[in-house]
A and B are shown apart, each in its own frame.
Chain A
Amino acid sequence: MGTAAKTKHTEDYAKAPINQKLTAEEKLKLLRGMIRVRRFEIEALRQYNGGKMGGFLHLYNGQESVAVGACSLMGDDDHVITAYRDHGHALAVGMHMNECMAELFGKATGCSKGKGGSMHFFAPDKNYWGGHGIVGGQTPLGLGLAYGLKYKGLKGAALCFLGDGAVNQGCFYESLNMAALFQLPVIYCIENNKYSMGTSLQRSSVIEHCLAQRAEAFCIDWAQAGGEDIYEVRAVTQKAIERAHNESKPTVLEFDTYRYYGHSVADAKHKGGYRKEDEIEKFKRDHDPIQVFKRRLIEEKLLTEEQYEAIDEESKAEAAAAAVFAEESPIPSEASIFEDVYFEVDRQTEAGRTGKHFFND
């Protein structure tokens, strides 16, 4: 790949084999997937502002095509792990809005029983390993998932998402070295939304062509791609998945994308502070992944404006219903504070019954 991998985004990725295979129904499912993420986030923000949840809320609006596109390619032995902006990936792998919204509300019906919160969604039954709060901290775990796949002799890939800020964490480079050294089927997907919290890309990273290019230092194949076109995301990711499956080799991908909201909702300076308001508006107007794909599907005569509205309304209703579900769900019991700490204690195995594990009294 090398530097040639820096694309000019002129190719029609609809013609990529992986996209040509898509049925009309599957294309609409991709659109619906992105809209569901958008509507979930909008409802989450509404509920956050209504005081229904605590802590941080890192919204994914604007980046939907990356998670939905990449996760749409997953086979039985492909796995996903990401950082704290994890709602989009969670819904993309098939998690239900109810369990996700309930987790935000800190309820017992949440995917992590109210113990993880916004940054820590998990669904190992759907090959989704979180949801990790420490920037870059998930990159060695993604390496480990790939290691486990190879060790077990499975033909799979570990898709490890990270932001443009995470590329400056040391453990990411240690992981790249080991991924290449051990020939592990890990795909690092950098979602470059241009800001590591309030610090712009230009102020945080040394760049010649792009961030993914840093993979060259480790002799790892890489590609930089536009993130707004879900066809492009799928085409580029598919190549990396094939490399992982067939050659057991790592890849570093970088997707140009953009977040409409702040680093988290507590980021008051994102609008008119560290970035100009017209920059946000420009992305929304010209590069919105949902609108880009909507236009494509209308061009392809697979979608009408009415159908689009219907999908949007359904997703909106689903998100609203999830908020009702979350609201009506019970808070976790006080006793549950001590559950899920130790496997052996939870199962009351002999090991779990031996010695004192908790030191409250």
Chain B
Amino acid sequence: MPLIEYRDALNQAFAEEIERDPNVVLIGEEVAQYDGAYKVTKGLWKKFGDKRVVDTPISEAAFIGMGIGAAMLGLRPVMELMFWSFATVAYDQIVNNAGQIRYMSGGLINCPIVIRGPANGGTSVGATHSHTPENWLAAIPGLKVVSAATAYDAKGLMKTAIRDNDPVMFMENTLLYGEKGEVPEEEYLIPLGKADVKREGTDITLIAHGRAALTALKAAELLAAEHDINAEVIDLRSIRPLDEDAILASVRKTHRAVCIEENKPFCGVGAQIAAMISEKAFDELDAPVLRVSALDAPAIYSPKLEARQLPRPTDIVEKVLSIC
């Protein structure tokens, strides 16, 4: 199986879906002639031309809204936000228009749009560029939220997101764009709402998404090597819809759980899952559900300290040891 970068996996997804459906169009800042700020759309403008790959001015509110209006009319726009942090500028369009149009029209209007881009800290760009808004957006009924940790997942989830008839907020990660992973040559899709058990284990369940899932895997290796603890790692892949069954099945097996995410803790994804586990599997638990999140302050610039602010494998190990 070819080993390719996460960004190239996404690039393949776009190329395949552009070829498959004439209504798919990539729109965003620098996506066409510049090849993408992070080269995710490299070569696509050259291959598919002005109609299918479109550069925009720096006007997030207008171009995201434009994509939503075009989606209402039947296009399938794939909109790039250079950083998901810039969603704050387009929040009205995303939340009120993409998120509510189907409901407020009594189901008469669909919005088959994908809004995508990197959503991560850890790159020393300060708080304005380091937001991880998956929990903000997953709180909006009407939106779907996806987060890919690997090249394989990125491609399969993106293709599904583009074909989905609801608005999908797709979270990528600049720290992962260059990470290589196995991606099959033949076509495949990964359903939204299906978690992936990235490591099987018996003693504790680590629940994460995005890059935090990879951190959890590293923690699981440390736990096995140094503490004889066999952790199961569940990568949610999709936040909304959420694969509750996979989480509960794992907790029923391990009886312990830690939620890990690069979001801030308050009303984070882990908060939702911890509440869900305690409501639905309380009797299965041998310990309280714990969380490891980004430290609860704006993303700090100082490179050394920022690395401390995001969950590290050792933070997870420490949390696990407190209940195992």
Chain A residues at the B interface, C-beta cutoff of 8 Å: 79, 81, 110-116, 120, 122-125, 129-134, 137, 139-149, 151-152, 158, 170-171, 174-175, 177-178, 181, 339-344, 346, 350-351, 354-359, 361
Contact = CB atoms under 8 A, between A and B. Distances in A.
Contacts, number: 189
B187 to A, nearest CB: 17
B165 A344 contact: yes
A132 B74 CA distance: 19
B73 A110 contact: no
11 contacts: A115-B105, A137-B65, A137-B93, A144-B67, A152-B74, A171-B92, A178-B57, A178-B59, A355-B191, A355-B192, A356-B244
B88 interface: no
A327 B63 CA distance: 42
B62 interface: yes
Interface of B: 25, 51, 56-57, 59, 61-75, 92-93, 96-97, 101-110, 112, 141-142, 144, 160, 164-166, 191-194, 238, 240-244, 272, 276, 279
B72 A344 contact: no
A21 B230 CA distance: 82
B109 A124 contact: yes
A124 B72 contact: yes
A302 B192 CA distance: 62
Say whether chain B's binding surface is mostly helix, strand, loop, or mixed.
Answer: mixed
Contacts of A147: 66, 69-70, 75
B65 A175 contact: yes
Given A139-B62, A151-B51, 12 more contacts: A130-B109, A132-B96, A134-B96, A137-B92, A140-B61, A144-B67, A147-B70, A148-B72, A148-B74, A170-B61, A354-B192, A356-B242
B106 A340 contact: yes
Contact of A144 (B65, B96, B164, B194): B65
Nearest to B195: A355
A124 B241 contact: no
B107 A171 contact: no
A349 to B, nearest CB: 8
B108 A124 contact: yes
B70 A178 contact: no
Contacts of B71: 144
Nearest to B275: A359
A354 B189 CA distance: 14
Nearest to A346: B107
A143 B62 CA distance: 8
B62 A355 contact: no
A124 B107 CA distance: 11
Given A143-B69, A144-B70, A151 B25 contact: yes
A253 B200 CA distance: 64
